[in-house]
Structure 1
Amino acid sequence: MSATTPGEPDWESIAGSLSQAANALQSVLDGIGDGFYAVDRSWRVTVFNRVAEEHFGRDRSEVLGHDLWQVFPQALGSDYEQAMRRVMDTGVRVEREEASYIRPGQIMEVRVFPLPDGLGVSFRDVTARRMAEKALRQSEARLKLAQQAGRIGHYEIDLGSGRLWWSDSQHDVLGIPREMAPETAMDFTRLIHPEDREAAMGTELAAIRNGTPVDTEFRVIGADGRVRWIAARGQVVRQPDGRRCLVGINLDVTARREADERQRLLMGELDHRAKNMLSVIQSLLRLAPARDLPTFQQVMEGRVAALARAHTLLARGCWAGGPVAEVLREGLEGFVEDPARLGIAGPAASLAPAAVQALALAIHELGTNAAKYGALSVPEGRVEVDYWWLGPGTDLSLRWREAGGPGAPPPQDEGFGLTLIRQCLEQQLGGTVRLHWRPDGLAVQVTIPARHLSAEVSSTPPARPAPAGHGGGPAADPSKVRPLQGKRVLVAEDEGLIGLELRATLEAAGADVVGPATNLAVLSRLAATEQVDVALLDVNLQGRASFPAAAILADRGIPFVFCTGYDEAGEDEYPGVRRVRKPWRRGEVERALAEALRP
């Protein structure tokens, strides 16, 4: 232990506390679907997330702090090593696909990019996607003949006369009734979206002149005005009577195009929000005073936990916002064991995502202050939180009142906690904060501007928070039968925080949780080998439907419930299976699983 001069900060203690906070941040990285690790300029591994552990088959404790090339000597001399050293030297990011040197047969999509103190590497397994693309190319080759494509929108154009023939299914694919079907190729081009018409015609002319295949995508405008994305595949052939014809198929790929666009937007939003969350935590670490290590660690753990609860609340609501009552309950969770000492009352109202994070931090700071110095520091103390909102276009007013506490005079200068409250509510949200130091406890009046408010979707009335450790729900009545008690439940969920919440919810209901499985491969293995009573399946696992695993469970006679944010997902494949739609209300998951277990 190094000596420090009296009055100077204990830098070793501060460094240790920062390390503890970094460990807390590891859970954020463990919640993403991509593998990620980072090295410093000496090639020592500084970050190694959960997906990286699974891919490389190494625990992070075996990797962190060690030289990358000593931990993975098989990469020495490879193109991968050359790419990493090139990025380290030039600072120019590299994106590539390559065969995995750890798992033969797998194809990895790898991004190597510079960091201020080294390199970051993200990767994902794209083997299935590449195999699917290869299979699609092979399938398209088999669809060159007209009779193989007739059932999915077959067309034939006589290149001599320009006459066009359609199969019956083409009308549904393009949204054109039979009486409006074009008679010539030129008539058909008028259906193509004006922005895509020139490129589509250019591809067709090249096929006619050079014999190259038609392989293009464009939009068409149906008779109902709806815009559809069409993938056209075709080939010029010579018919037995000598005529040259362009024959091929049209596929409706609207859903895939829209899904790709949603995925692009979601990934951009996720990147923004992850960076924003990390920046908030970084600011907390830099700004919070560090008088001693234990106190600093405890305070930072509480603030990071408050942010994590706010993140989970937003994830549960698909990032559309969060009900005010739930933000307050989550923010005050864990400060007292007796729910009678906390009261929350107010109308149905929801906050925008940015306001959820800000209010969650502010309420956590007020709760911390009350637990240390105010009403919650004594057994007889109590906190009441009331709020009012008259509807869209009006501000929200919130009142925090402590009663039965020791009371305290106003501080001569506001500490970091109160500074953080003002920063969140006044600076970030543009609201107001008024503090009143009363003899029996602190009273705070807050206003949040109308632009951060919206009508609450859920009609569930606000309830008082539950005791710490019960997930915010009502306390279980031990006299009632718990249908999940002792049942083994297989859970599939690729969102880390949601998976943690499901595990906690089901374990609180007495279930033994298997998983959560975060991808289809792991889920399929567990579905085939684990002895479980029931399963809860996220329909979309990292871009792949969980239906193959559902089929395995069905063959084994194991009931399952779908958990999805899509309105109609799985209804065609499994019309009789129960569904829990995200975001779910408290108790909804447990009820659905209990119903699935009934004979």
Structure 2
Amino acid sequence: MMQNSVPQHPELQSLIDAMKDGAAIIAADGTILWVNDTWRKFAAANEGDTADEYVGVNYLDVCRQSSDAGDELARRVGTGIGGVLSGGEEFSTEYPCHSPTEKRWFEIIARPFGLSDQKYALIAHRNVTSRVEASVEASHAEQNVENLAAIVATMPDAVIAFDLDGKIISWNAAAYKLYGYERDEVIGESIEILYPPNWPAKVSDYIADIITRELRSFDVVRQTKYGDKRTIAVTAAPIRSITGEIIGISNVHRDVTDERAAEQRLRNVLDNLFAFVGILGPDGTLLEANRAPLEAANLVNSDVIGKKFWDTYWWNHAPDVQERLIQACKDALKGELIRYDEQVRIADGRLVWIDFQVAPLKDLDGKIVNLIPSGIDITARKKMVEALKTSHDTFQNLVAKSPFGIYTVDEDFRLAHVSDGARSVFENVDPLIGHDFEAALRTVWAEPFATEAIGLFRHTLATGEPYQAPSSTKIRQDTSEIESYDWRIERITMPDGRLGVVCNFYDLSERQRYEHHVRMLMREVNHRSKNLLTVVLSMARQTARNSQPVDFVERFSERLRGLSASQDLIVKRNWDGVGVRELVLSQMNHLSEEVRDNRVQVDGPEIIISPAAAEGIGMALHELATNALKYGALSVADGTVLVQWNLQQDDQEFSIDWREMNGPAVSPPERRGFGRIVIERMAANSVGGSVELDYDPTGVRWNLTAPLDGVRNKVSALA
């Protein structure tokens, strides 16, 4: 509809279509008459009027509507275009036209022209985004330069720049303060003006290294204008042009003279400690180690630095040692201080004990940034402790196993230690250790001794005055038995540092029982000696009566040897009885070895008989063996003897049997001599039994039967 009123000037359409900027021609009243292709495409891309492309719309009315709504840009554009249509000159202004996805700026240009006596205006919208952005960047760059210059000027560290020939091109106030040179004194001078005499490296070396490695931090020594040498921490970086070309070097110099000196003092202290001190990363990597452990293990830094701590030479000698260290580091990362004793390896594979700990190191925010391991050699201390423990254990064992009784009472008057030798005294005190000592004494001893002993212990504990008691024989409260002791008490310092009392005593009861036993044995020996003498005298008279003078000595000597064999066994057994088997064999000693081993058979259970029974039975066996050797079974080559003994009548009767076999024919003797008296009467009388003697033609048989109580010793027979 609007297109029908548009003047027909096709050349104008062709003209504006050739323009790259979005363009429109408006009439004198502000109505849009023609728009070009760029205008149309922009409208389509930005959700504009795609039906009429704004042709017929009054440009000035749109500006007035936006201006009335408060749009200052619309007011200014409307005024400018109105001026152009009223005969004014060109109008232009920039304005933002941002989309949801990008920022854009445009310049609007309005120029007047006439055609066929009609006034028109050409409105062009030019995209100037790149120009505006460049302008903004330039502004920012200028501001950045100004800001950088201000920063450099006010930095506390010296900032120095030099070109690729080493000539100084920048020098801030901090550089003057550090080195003493005014800016005018050093600009254009070589940076080597700061080098001490005979410094080994040239500036060209540094430049090459900085360019190659891009950025480098290092310590150097530099000299001030006044000859002072300072340790300088340098941070260096290349300076690049807009095109990226390296045109110089920037240095930041910080004076770390005092800091490095302090670090060196600390390092010297650590290196002169024979203790391991190191620094670990959170992952357990060893970052630093002092000199002592390196030297102890014949290592250098490169052997261990950068390795996991548990994989280093000191620790990798045993998997369990490594596992404990790994766990310790994990626990330290939780904020714990871990400490324990461990064996580490040093030179020649030797193991030493260290008191080891690993502690967390936190920053100002409380975050754990490192672990600090340390260790002190305690090998000598360990050996001393082991020696003390061995000594203590030995002493404890000696005390515990001592035949003397030893016990201690602490400051609270409670039993603290009781040796093995003292426990029998307190057998009825339970529990023993920690028991109130007064109550323990009143349990063991009757009055008035209990109260008296309690007072003596308390006095020694209070005053330190020792007490040596006379030999004491007292009645026990708990068992009613009479016991005797020698005892002494004195005050001591207990292991916990407090006072206590130790009692050493010797039980005289056993000694007294022993002395009583000895006296009894002496009486028994005296009694037995008299009996034995009586037997010997009787044996001498009977032997003399039944022997020719020429045979007396031999017969009497034989009988004495038989009696002596029995007595040897009795004495050997400490008068506690004799075994039947050894008694029988002892009475065969006068036989030849061939006869004893091959022609005498001995059989019976092990039974212990009394010394009196051993004398009587032994003499009878001696007479039987002698007769068998002279007249009976042992007098011929094939004769044998069987000696058997056993228990009968429900083990209440003892029986021993002598039987001769395969000997010469036997007949009863025509006269009754001493031998027969021994065989029949003396043997029976010694045990309160009876004897059967049979002179069977096939061989002599002798049997003794007696009540077991008359035969055996106080010790029961063993089957």
Higher CA-based Rg:
2
* Higher RCO (C-alpha under 8 Å, 6+ residues apart): 1
TM value normalised by structure 2:
0.34
Higher strand share: 2
TM-score normalised by structure 1 residue count: 0.40
